[in-house]
Amino acid sequence: MKIVFAGTPEFAACAMRAIDDAGYEIVLALTQPDRRAGRGMHLQASPVKEFALEKNIPVLQPETLKRNSTDPEKQAQAQEAYERLSAIDFDAMVVVAYGLILPQDVLDISQQPGRNGSFNIHASLLPRWRGAAPIQRAIESGDTKTGICIMQMDVGLDTGDTVLVSELEIAPEETSSSLHHRLAELGAQSIVETLNCLQVGKALVRTQQATNGVTYAEKILKSEAEIDWNLSAQEIDRRIRAFNPFPGATSNAQELEIKFWNSRIPKAGAVSATGHPGELLGLSENGAYIQCGQGAIEILEMQKPGGKKMPASICLQAFTFREQVLRFHKKE
């Protein structure tokens, strides 16, 4: 089968590699335009584009697929993409974390007679966590399981029928980084399984999403990163792990903004001292105990400005204890 692939980040590239490894021909890749990144702010290609170039797959990078855009340049890019999609021969479109909305006229191309439509890999158990940040919001909310849904796309926001659902448990100390990698692998396996069914003519069972239990995973904002130590230890722990790797939870101490990358809830009886929210209560073998609004949290990994990530107990050795107690707080 011939596949059109639309995606941008590494999560998408993982699925793209699996589709290629399974022997399917990717005839066109759609990905977002190169973005400036890194300290030098140089233009960088997306992981999907890098893989496409490696495999000599044609690439299109429109800023939008909406042909009714009021911006003449964007409208021209959308028209070019529409014409290319209309002209090429393909059997199905796979969409993974593309970052652009597919309008109905693009979906219609993939649904022409003899084609199988467009399939999306979504990293949640729909209808829970539709939207931009399902991995982070699942951890932040304390979900114990998540998964991958292969969805037959429609024009709604992650509202299409599911054709394959694979569940995955969320470990107690899971970060968004670790869960991202596990879900990327599961998503790659799931989309190949879906394409294999289409290849042999096996009918896909379409299941309409439930109307109850719908939640939306809003985009993660940098403004969410600062820790509110008045929250419970459980809430803070979830946010630290949810915001690893982006944007990284932060708090201030001795005029330094510190990043917190990993944490856990201490075992019962591990912390006997108490203090004000944000107050350092003591050190563990590799970490540090900090008082929260309810209970204490064990911080495992921290980072000073310009420094490297390191065990919290080592990071804290660099502080000069001018006061009797070290206390973390919001930026003033």
- Measured CA to CA, the distance from residue 40 to residue 238 in angstroms comes to 33
Report whether 127 belongs to an annotated binding site.
yes
3-state secondary structure of 173: coil
- Measured CA to CA, the distance from residue 14 to residue 247 in angstroms comes to 22
Report whether 125 belongs to an annotated binding site.
yes
**Which residues fall within 8 angstroms of residue 54, CB to CB, at 6 or more apart?**
none
DSSP-H helix ranges across the chain: 10-21, 47-54, 72-87, 104-110, 134-140, 176-199, 233-242, 312-315
Report whether 124 belongs to an annotated binding site.
yes
Number of H helices, E strands in the chain: 8, 17
- How far lies 32's CA from each of 6, 44, 253, in Å? 9, 11, 39
Report whether 85 belongs to an annotated binding site.
no
Evaluate whether 28 touches 84 at the Cβ level (below 8 Å): yes
Binding site: what residues are annotated?
A: 124-127
Binding site for (6S)-5,6,7,8-tetrahydrofolate: what residues are annotated?
A: 124-127
